[in-house]
Structure 1
Amino acid sequence: MTTFALFLAALVGLEHLGIMFLEMFAGPKTQAKAFDMPFTFVNQEHSQTALSNQGIYNGALGLLIISVLFFFSGSTLLTIMRLLMFFVMIVGTYGGLTATKKIFTLQLLPATVVFVLLFL
């Protein structure tokens, strides 16, 4: 079960890398659709700067989740991964409440599943 949970954790990390690419490199039309934001808002220079900045954080989180799988093992790995999944749960809850409800399904739910599985 732990191996399966760690595989799912890697998928959560890859998801955050995908979010990073959307936030940093996708066009405004794609970003507006992906993040349920008005195109006129996303197309502004300041919004692009904010999205790129947020993309850096999502990329760092994704890389951290994936790199932890390679640099740690045993109970240390489980503890760090539980903390990272808990952090993603907090971020997913906040994003779902403040940005778009899709975040509950796309970020909060997978992290919560992994978090629970890491305790089994």
Structure 2
Amino acid sequence: MGSIILVLSTIIGILHLIIMGLEMFASNEKQAQTFRMPLEFVKLPNAQIALKNMGIYNGSLGLVMLVSVFLFQGTTRLSVLLLLNLFVVIVGCYGGKTVTKSIYLIQALPALITLLLILMQLI
């Protein structure tokens, strides 16, 4: 089960780096399509600032998750990954409710599964 937790956490970390790339570096058209926003809105300077700001958070989360997988060991690693995956579940649920339902499947569900596996490992 420990290997599954590490693989899932690595995938979730990489996913957040991909999300960062989309939010910070993708074309306006790709951002509008990916995040289901009107293109006219995405082109606004303030919308770009907001997307890039969200990108920094997603990238930071992804990087911390990946570093945690490789840097920590044992119960410390599981505890850190538990907190990070809990954060992803919360953010994913909010995004699924406010942005698009697909965030539930793409972001929240994998983190929830990982979170439950971690809890089973710790208990």
Q: Shorter-chain TM-score: what band?
A: over 0.9
Q: Provide the rounded CA distance (Å) in 1 between the counterparts of 2:102 and 2:28.
A: 18
String of CA shifts for 1:32-81, please: whole Å, max 9, x gaps: 11011111111111101110011000000000000011211000100110
Report the number of matched residues.
Answer: 120
Q: Which runs of 5+ in 1 are unaligned?
A: none
Q: Provide the rounded CA distance (Å) in 1 between the counterparts of 2:6 and 2:114.
A: 8
**Residue of structure 1 equivalent to 2:110:** 110
SS in 2 for 1:83: helix
SS in 1 for 2:119: coil
String of CA shifts for 1:3-34, please: whole Å, max 9, x gaps: 11111110000000000000000001000110
Q: How does 1:10-89 map to 2 (within 5 A)?
A: 10-89=10-89
Q: Which runs of 5+ in 2 are unaligned?
A: none
- Identity between Structure 1 and Structure 2 (%): 47
**TM-score with structure 1 length normalisation?**
0.97
Q: Provide the rounded CA distance (Å) in 2 between the counterparts of 1:79 and 1:7.
A: 16
**TM-score with structure 2 length normalisation?**
0.94
Q: Provide the rounded CA distance (Å) in 1 between the counterparts of 2:75 and 2:29.
A: 44
Runs of 4 or more off by more than 6 Å in structure 1?
none
| Residue 119 of structure 1: how far off its partner (Å) | 2.5
Q: Provide the rounded CA distance (Å) in 2 between the counterparts of 1:102 and 1:28.
A: 20
Residue 60 of structure 1 aligns with an amino acid whose one-letter code is S
Aligned-CA RMSD value: 0.8
Residue 78 of structure 1 aligns with an amino acid whose one-letter code is L
